[in-house]
Structure 1
Amino acid sequence: MSEHTCDVLILGGGPAGSTAATLLCESGFTVTVLERESFPRFHVGESLLPHSLPLFDRLGVHEEVKALPHTRVKPGAFFATADGSKVVEYRFAEALPPAIPHAYQVRRDEFDALLLSRAQRAGAQVLHGWEALTPQWEGKRLTGMWVRDPEGQQHLFRFRAFLDASGQKAFLATRMGWRFPYPKHKKVAAVSHFRGVWLPPGESSGNITIVLTKAGWFWFIPFADDTVSVGAVLDVAFWQAQGKAPQEVFQRAVEETPEAARRLANASPILPFSAIQNFSYRVTKLAGDGFCLIGDAAGFLDPIFSTGVFIATTTAASAAEDVTEALHRHGRIDAADLAPTVSLTRSLQKTFFSFIRSYYDQDFLPFFFNPRPVLQIPAAIVSLLAADVLRPGRRLVAARFRLLQLLAAGQKLGRLLGKPLVPPLDATPADAGP
């Protein structure tokens, strides 16, 4: 056993951990990042949002992200019904001003490796293959972490602050009993990368496309070499009814979704299929004396609107600011010092989770696919899709979105009475599995 010390120990070298490490190192602290996996490594979540770009500028990586081999400009998003009869495009340039007109599609192996390399250039010590084992508490304060190195030897790290950026493994929340699944949102995803997928012509070929299907939805995320990340997010009940491997369940969903089948008619996978299960959960405690949870380690609902990297990096930057201010002020981290990050995390979760839940509402979707050009509702939807949720005036965006939710409530009443306000869609993610 050996003992190590640092100002800040970060668990996880993904976007949240790398962002926090870079900013903390630039503030003059000693930072160690524990990353169980070797980079580069496969990861889903390849579609970024426009309002992540200012933080990329702050980190000094924007030009490097643009230059990655598979990066593709993402001007907006398509949403299509299961049979392809209705397609709506939301373009980021049409958001409420000031709009950021594009984002990027990235290969996460390249993108995550770039951010972690940036943290190392800033001075972070990155230990690959090291695994966190047991937190060490002094009363309610987290002061140390037992870890295991690649050779199986155990070490004790002592620190002034611990940031859990362990992603959906949610290390601290899982071990402390703070993680709880959403019982009504049990989803599983089957994913691979494909070559030969049909893409629309012109600039919009860089868009992400979301295709509705019974009990779920598909994503299509194109890269610069015209390979495409394709995933099927399905209700767990649908998956269990198949009782088959990820590729077979994926293919069954394709067969039941004409628009997905059309796009994949001449395509073939270039990576083995993988499955991600039980990724929807909430976390009841986000911070305390000596620690804070950031990114997916603080909770996750659904990848439908590609909010994962935005929330991860945004909460990481906030936590880095809180830690920096507290350590400079009184040399330690108390729970109260992290209140701004906790408040921000809860606010982002509330905003995006409300949007996500609406997308699983069969009465909301007809209005989403037919946005009325009144009260700037389409522009407000684009602003939400672009993650324009931090600057002043965001309440007006939320108010316009809530108007759509009120229309959905009226649609539900009308549908139950046999007189819906607008024609319902044939297949939606809310539909039960087979």
Structure 2
Amino acid sequence: MHKNQSNQVNNISVDVAIIGAGPSGAIAASLLNQLGKHVVVLEKQYFPRFSIGESLLPCCMQFIEQAGMLEAVNQAGFQFKDGAAFRHQDRYTTFDFTDKFTPGPGTTFQVQRGKFDKLLADTAIQQGVEIRYGHSVKQINLTDSPLLTVSNELDEIYQVQAKFVLDASGFGRVLPRLLNLEKPSNLPLRSAIFTHIEDNINDPNFDRNKILISVHPEHKDIWYWLIPFSDNRSSIGVVGEPHLLANLEGNLEQQLMTIVHQEPGLKQLLVNAKVIQDCATLQGYSANVSTLATDKFALLGNAGEFLDPVFSSGVTIAMQSATMAVNSLVKQLNGATINWQTEYAEPLMKGVNTFRTFVQAWYDGRFQDVIFYQQANPAIKQMICSILAGYAWDQNNPFVAESERRLNTIVELCKEPNDA
């Protein structure tokens, strides 16, 4: 039975209150619990619940291992993943994540997030973490030590006194809303339409071990994801600026399949596909905040900033932020004075901004030129492959240390044969 004390409305006192039981919340809770800290996780929903962000990056695996969850994930039967494939018209290329510049895991999984997130949370519970499902944070007072006002599913109110709060609420963005931290993203507004399908793919050349990113044949800033799972199912989605998707007719499923069939490769691959889940849409998902952390709270993952799904960086940023925040938080709980800006926010943003460089360059076409370049230098491809594998914090990688300058240099080199 879950530690879901819906009938307990007594006020409690903990070392750390974590808002949200998704990947960043579960990882942070596990790590803190290992170190003997008293943690409570407050999760508004009940698991399993649907979420996008289904193609993990290999970098995630080291955080899963640190949290003592690797065996559970390895045995869960998720789809093995070893890279990414990209296609635009007749151009097709792959990145093998084991052939990368940065040390660390080179393979991972493609997962239905409902099952995956519940597995991480269940494993944390088995380790001794308390997760309260159906509990929502309604208010927070930071005058002294953080005081959270919480409501359970019976609308009963109680308070949690904590020494620190970690916001792992993802797109719920609880603290940014309650503390007025919301800030517009510098990325253009985009929309996504997505669903799950029985893919029934019978093409022998299709590699289920890789996410397939396809570019619309006419609009380079419209792209599709196809994420194969292990049970003849896949996640399919399309992303574009709203005006590019606005004139599609019919319901969401008809709109999605209409634009999917505009990409000949996908149309052929999915000729026998059947939609098995209601289509959903996500609009204006890119987000930012004015403050990532203080000596009383820290924002993890999407609660702080979400860029774009194109390189599947969301779960990696979530887990990276959880690990970095815990490292600083434990020092603070043990009596040290922490500068959260220099010890957490700035180091975290170095990797986030590396991803941002490549996201922006994807949409303006520069990075697409690099990805599809046929005479790629193997060493440079390994460096770029490391970033695509999630290792965006490796300062030894020139494409991390100077992401914009290095990328622009390689963009020019990739253009030269075409200009000659």
- Tell me the TM-score normalized by structure 1: 0.87
1:23 to 31, 41, 66: 31
Q: How does 1:312-391 map to 2 (within 5 A)?
A: 312-329=318-335, 336-337=339-340, 339-370=342-373, 372-374=375-377, 376-391=379-394
Q: Partner of 1:5 in structure 2?
A: 13
2:56 to 44, 48, 59: 48
Q: Partner of 1:258 in structure 2?
A: 264
- Whether the 8 Å contact between 2:52 and 2:113 is mirrored in structure 1 is yes
Q: 1:401 to 1:201 in 2, by over 3 A?
A: farther
Q: CA deviation at 1:33?
A: 0.5
Contiguous gaps of at least 5 residues in structure 2: 1-8
1:128 to 129, 133, 136: 133
Which aligned runs of 4 or more in structure 1 are off by greater than 6 angstroms?
Answer: none
**Is 1:164 the equivalent of 2:160?**
no
Q: Partner of 2:156 in structure 1?
A: 153
Q: CA deviation at 1:199?
A: 6.3
Paired with 2:296 and 2:247, the residues of 1 have a C-alpha distance of: 45
Paired with 2:35 and 2:70, the residues of 1 have a C-alpha distance of: 20
Q: 1:119 to 1:92 in 2, by over 3 A?
A: same
Q: Partner of 1:74 in structure 2?
A: 81
Q: Partner of 1:33 in structure 2?
A: 41
**Is 1:422 the equivalent of 2:401?**
no
Q: CA deviation at 1:183?
A: 5.8
1:119 to 98, 116, 124: 124
- Whether the 8 Å contact between 2:395 and 2:401 is mirrored in structure 1 is no
Q: CA deviation at 1:61?
A: 1.6
Paired with 2:285 and 2:401, the residues of 1 have a C-alpha distance of: 26
Q: Partner of 1:247 in structure 2?
A: 253
- Whether the 8 Å contact between 1:359 and 1:365 is mirrored in structure 2 is yes
Q: Partner of 2:5 in structure 1?
A: none
Q: 1:125 to 1:101 in 2, by over 3 A?
A: closer
Q: Partner of 1:426 in structure 2?
A: none
Structure 1, residues 111-139: CA drift from partner, whole Å, max 9, x if none? 1111111221222211101111111121x
The letter for the 2-side match of 1:422 is N
Tell me, what secondary structure is at the counterpart of 2:11?
strand
- Whether the 8 Å contact between 1:217 and 1:232 is mirrored in structure 2 is yes
Q: CA deviation at 1:269?
A: 1.0
- Whether the 8 Å contact between 1:181 and 1:278 is mirrored in structure 2 is no
Paired with 1:211 and 1:408, the residues of 2 have a C-alpha distance of: 20
Paired with 1:15 and 1:377, the residues of 2 have a C-alpha distance of: 31
Tell me, what secondary structure is at the counterpart of 1:406?
helix
- Whether the 8 Å contact between 1:364 and 1:405 is mirrored in structure 2 is no
Paired with 2:214 and 2:283, the residues of 1 have a C-alpha distance of: 20
Q: Partner of 1:432 in structure 2?
A: none
Q: Partner of 2:316 in structure 1?
A: 310
Paired with 2:332 and 2:182, the residues of 1 have a C-alpha distance of: 27
- Whether the 8 Å contact between 2:332 and 2:338 is mirrored in structure 1 is no
- Whether the 8 Å contact between 1:290 and 1:335 is mirrored in structure 2 is no
- Whether the 8 Å contact between 1:292 and 1:338 is mirrored in structure 2 is no
The letter for the 1-side match of 2:192 is A
The letter for the 1-side match of 2:39 is V
Tell me, what secondary structure is at the counterpart of 2:14?
strand
Q: Partner of 1:427 in structure 2?
A: none
Paired with 1:143 and 1:313, the residues of 2 have a C-alpha distance of: 23
Paired with 2:242 and 2:417, the residues of 1 have a C-alpha distance of: 31
Name which of structure 1's ranges 391-400 and 207-216 shifts more when overlaid on structure 2.
Answer: 391-400
Contiguous gaps of at least 5 residues in structure 1: 415-419, 424-434
1:176 to 164, 175, 179: 179
- Whether the 8 Å contact between 2:84 and 2:211 is mirrored in structure 1 is yes
Q: Partner of 1:279 in structure 2?
A: 285
Q: Partner of 1:232 in structure 2?
A: 238
Q: CA deviation at 1:99?
A: 5.8
The letter for the 2-side match of 1:383 is S
Name which of structure 1's ranges 335-344 and 182-191 shifts more when overlaid on structure 2.
Answer: 335-344
Q: CA deviation at 1:45?
A: 0.9
- Whether the 8 Å contact between 1:322 and 1:338 is mirrored in structure 2 is no
Paired with 2:200 and 2:406, the residues of 1 have a C-alpha distance of: 37
Q: Partner of 1:288 in structure 2?
A: 294
Tell me, what secondary structure is at the counterpart of 1:38?
coil
The letter for the 2-side match of 1:127 is R
Q: Partner of 1:105 in structure 2?
A: 110
Structure 1, residues 342-377: CA drift from partner, whole Å, max 9, x if none? 122211211111111111122442222115333722
Structure 1, residues 151-194: CA drift from partner, whole Å, max 9, x if none? 01111111100000010121111233322233652111111111
- Whether the 8 Å contact between 2:354 and 2:400 is mirrored in structure 1 is no
Q: Partner of 2:4 in structure 1?
A: none
Q: 1:401 to 1:22 in 2, by over 3 A?
A: same
Name which of structure 1's ranges 156-165 and 56-65 shifts more when overlaid on structure 2.
Answer: 56-65
- Tell me the TM-score normalized by structure 2: 0.90
Percent of aligned positions that are identical: 27
Q: CA deviation at 1:102?
A: 1.6
Tell me, what secondary structure is at the counterpart of 1:287?
coil
The letter for the 2-side match of 1:7 is D
Q: How many residues align?
A: 408
- Whether the 8 Å contact between 2:357 and 2:404 is mirrored in structure 1 is no
Q: 1:165 to 1:244 in 2, by over 3 A?
A: farther
Q: CA deviation at 1:234?
A: 2.0
